[in-house]
Amino acid sequence: MKTFQNYILGNWVNGDGIETPLYHAVSQVELGSVSSAGIDYDQVFEYGRKTGGRSLRKMTFQERGRMLKALALYLMERKDRYYEVSAWTGATKVDSWIDIEGGIGNLFANASLRRQFPDLPYYVDGSAAPLSKNGTFIGHHIMVPKEGVAVHINAFNFPVWGMLEKIAVNLMAGVPAVVKPSEYTCYLTEVVVRDIIASAILPEGSLQLICGLGRGILDHVDARDIVTFTGSASTGKLLKGLPRISQESVPFNLEADSLNATILGKKAVPGTVEYDLFVKEVVKEMTIKAGQKCTAVRRILVPEEYIDEVQVAISSRLATTKIGNPAMEGVRMGPLASSLQAQRVRSSVEELSKSQPIVFGDMDHFEILGEQVKREAFFSPILFRNDDPFVKTACHDIEAFGPVATIMPYKEMDDAIDLAKLGKGSLVSSIVTPDNQEARDYVVGAASMHGRILVLNEHCAKESTGHGSPMPLLTHGGPGRAGGGEEMGGKRGVLHYLQRTAIQGHPTTITAITEQFQVGAEMPEANPHVFRKHFEELVVGETVFTHKHTVSEADIVNFANVSGDNFYAHMDATSLEGTIFERRVAHGYFILSKAAGLFVDPKKGPVLLNYGIEEARFTKPVYPGATIGVRFTVKEKIDQEKRSEDDIAKGIVKFLVDVYDETGETVAMATILTMVKKLKD
């Protein structure tokens, strides 16, 4: 019988003995066993910190992003094998797509974040803070990768997505991971990790895998590490409360299953597109992954005047859902991941039945399609109805982690908001309505107890990812019962794995540390002109001091004619009473345009193009007779990869444009982005 292995200290190893036998969810045939007994977690963590961590911390964000992209492409080429193994968990093709390609999509999404980070191993956060009168002492913040490991304890329902959505973020930050998937579906995670290790795309030690129970894994974390947990609220709180976590002040991100609610707006009357969307979305969320999603719909809130009709519509649609072997054509819902999960869902349904009736489904009598099918892990969709949800509150406290939901009425939107909040904190809620005011009222009223809210209507339905789909660039987590944590979230998620540190010193010193020019730093004159230098030759801080130009009324008139901007402050000196202007003022965009005329070296050279302006500010009026000059400074350099063999080797250079007048005072400031050719391919 096959033993599914752990990957630690650079090797694939078995644990001692057998901790857990593993079974095919459909046929209940034994697949093998797994164990992590005997693993020295102190060694595992130190190996990750010293071997993987040191390599990752030397890489820049650009390099880490390209690494994630390469890994995503590599795994996508091998996805067919993952689909084969995913079927062992009882997943349909759609279920597997969410898990496998959704997980790989997280790698792509986080790889793209490199464009929001500097070409450095660390991140420069925010803007400089002036700390002295004469500007010789400033403060700033940098964020460096934590020097520990990210310990990910994942749930059974998403063995691929659960791992990849987490490691994509910590690897982008420069932190290695130790992944502990659920032992019940770890065989799929193991297949993916074997390919990741074989690819050699990640530095050795960046990823280690614990396939067994992982007992004692948190006994060796310390202040350098970060723990993330996805699973039941009770287990998560138990782990978060371990003395080691508090003693070492270990960050612990808890993302727990929650009693998520979906609301049918009053304006989504029967017969509208939104009404039909609602029924379809509810049934989809009840049956996708057989309801085994932390984001699945558990509570269905409907205006009391529509509830009978909605109940019939949902029940009718559930009745057409074919349950059975996912390999069989037409099957829309497979089994739960294990017979143990089916037993747990049954127990929760029995408890809920004490206070509310089942209006659709029968746990003991339902058809299962396909051959070589054993009933142990299969479960019928169950729809409860609760006509008194403010009094009979079990549905707000007990979660059946399967294809189970409760429909309940509400009178007014405030009631719907209060009912949604009775879940005591949720990962997600949704409202389906054609009315934007109704949507606004719900979102503003309910947001404090939800991590994400989907507003669904006819206009976004075709492209909507749905109630149950967290997205890599948005926060995934929620308050209260949902755990109080946040995962993913784009740039926010990456920053979770970095240590923010305040730095203080002279602007020149802070420039050297951040590799971003700070106002007040030394500005050595560029020689030759910066537009004559290749990407590698440019030095942050070097500056072109331009010739000067005296602004005239003719400049203002000519620019107005060319641009069509005849705003009164520029063209009508008789209309300035009561304004801040003393007389006709030059256009701010003329000042920037003239600045470009002053700082540009027109001859063909390494500069390929100028493709943007950021942070443009007009800080002082410029009147005819004022004389302006420009300090044009290399602000920041960002490396850029070649997209093909034929692509030009280049990088992005940000230049600070500081336009000043005859008094030396800044009148306009902006950052321009240029694409600059490299010396070498």
Please report, for the chain, how many H helices and E strands are present, in that order: 19, 28
| Per-residue model confidence as pLDDT tens digits over 402-423 | 999 999 999 999 999 999 999 9
Helical H segments across 288-338, by residue range: 307-319
Distance CA 226, CA 495 (A): 12
> Does the pLDDT of residue 645 top 90, yes or no?
no
Q: Which pair of structure tokens corresponds to residue 328?
A: 């069989």
Helical H segments across 113-232, by residue range: 161-173, 186-199
Pair 143, 120: CB distance under 8 Å: no
Give the chain's length: 681
> Does the pLDDT of residue 458 top 90, yes or no?
yes
User: What DSSP line would sit under 550-617, residue for residue?
Assistant: E--HHHHHHHHHHH----HHHH-GGG-TTSS-SS----HHHHHHHHHHHH---S--SEEEEEEEEEEE
Pair 678, 642: CB distance under 8 Å: no
Neighbours of 322 (CB within 10 A): 14
User: What DSSP line would sit under 429-445, residue for residue?
Assistant: EEEE-S-HHHHHHHHHH
The reported pLDDT for the residue numbered 39 is 96
> Does the pLDDT of residue 44 top 90, yes or no?
yes
The reported pLDDT for the residue numbered 168 is 96
In the block, residue with structure tokens 């994630």:
68
| Phi, psi angles (nearest 5°) of residue 513 | -75, -45
Return the half-sphere exposure (C-beta side, CA atoms, 13 A cut-off) of residue 524: 10
> Does the pLDDT of residue 99 top 90, yes or no?
yes
Q: Which pair of structure tokens corresponds to residue 247?
A: 């003693």
Average pLDDT over residues 274-283: 97
| DSSP secondary structure code for residue 48 in this structure | I
> What is the pLDDT confidence band of residue 487, given thresholds at 50, 70 and 90?
confident
Average pLDDT over residues 160-185: 96
**Angle between the 161-173 and 186-199 helix axes, to the nearest 10 degrees?**
40
Average pLDDT over residues 181-192: 96
Query: Of 143, 176, 122, 153, which Cα lies nearest the Cα of 252?
Result: 153
> Does the pLDDT of residue 115 top 90, yes or no?
no
**Domains defined for the chain, CATH in brackets:** 3-251 (3.40.605.10), 260-478 (3.40.309.10), 523-677 (3.10.129.10)
Distance CA 265, CA 434 (A): 8
The reported pLDDT for the residue numbered 368 is 94
Query: Of 458, 453, 484, 490, which Cα lies nearest the Cα of 471?
Result: 490
Instruction: Please report, rounded to a whole number, the percentage of residues in the chain having pLDDT higher than 90.
Output: 90
| Summary mean pLDDT of the chain | 95
Distance CA 360, CA 582 (A): 77
Q: Which helix or strand (DSSP H or E) is residue 446 part of?
A: helix 436-446
| Per-residue model confidence as pLDDT tens digits over 226-243 | 999 998 888 988 999 999
- How far the first Cα of the chain sits from its last, in Å, is 52
Q: Which residues are catalytic?
A: 255, 294
Of the two residues 309 and 640, the one the predictor is more confident about is 309
Helical H segments across 185-272, by residue range: 186-199, 233-240, 243-247
> Does the pLDDT of residue 155 top 70, yes or no?
yes
User: What DSSP line would sit under 61-73, residue for residue?
Assistant: HHHHHHHHHHHHH
The reported pLDDT for the residue numbered 232 is 87
Q: List Cβ neighbours of 77 (8 Å cut-off, separation of 6 or more).
A: none
The reported pLDDT for the residue numbered 611 is 87
Angstrom distances, CA of residue 315 to CA of 34, 381, 403, 406, 454: 40, 10, 13, 12, 23
Strand partners, 499: 144
The reported pLDDT for the residue numbered 135 is 92
Q: 549-550 and 627-640 as β-strands: parallel, antiparallel, unpaired? A: antiparallel
Helix (H, G, I), strand (E, B), or coil: what is residue 676? strand
| Per-residue model confidence as pLDDT tens digits over 46-73 | 999 999 999 999 999 999 999 999 999 9
> Does the pLDDT of residue 1 top 70, yes or no?
no
The reported pLDDT for the residue numbered 199 is 97
> What is the pLDDT confidence band of residue 512, given thresholds at 50, 70 and 90?
very high
Strand locations in 67-120, DSSP E?
Answer: none
Distance CA 662, CA 53 (A): 52
The reported pLDDT for the residue numbered 180 is 97
Pair 624, 586: CB distance under 8 Å: yes
| DSSP secondary structure code for residue 223 in this structure | T
Pair 564, 586: CB distance under 8 Å: no
Distance CA 89, CA 108 (A): 25
Distance CA 609, CA 83 (A): 45
| Phi, psi angles (nearest 5°) of residue 77 | -70, -20
| Phi, psi angles (nearest 5°) of residue 299 | -130, 130
**At residue 274, what is the residue type?**
E
In the block, residue with structure tokens 């500005």:
523
Distance CA 595, CA 586 (A): 13
User: What DSSP line would sit under 505-568, residue for residue?
Assistant: E-HHHHHHHHTS--TTS--PBPSS-GGGS-GGG--TT-EEE---EE--HHHHHHHHHHH----H
Q: Which pair of structure tokens corresponds to residue 189?
A: 């995670």
The reported pLDDT for the residue numbered 145 is 97
Pair 378, 339: CB distance under 8 Å: no
The CA-CA-CA angle for residues 506, 511, 512, to 5°, reads 100
Distance CA 221, CA 498 (A): 17
Sheet containing 207-209, strands listed edge to edge, beginning at the edge strand earlier in sequence? 11-13, 6-8, 207-209, 177-180, 150-153, 226-231, 252-256
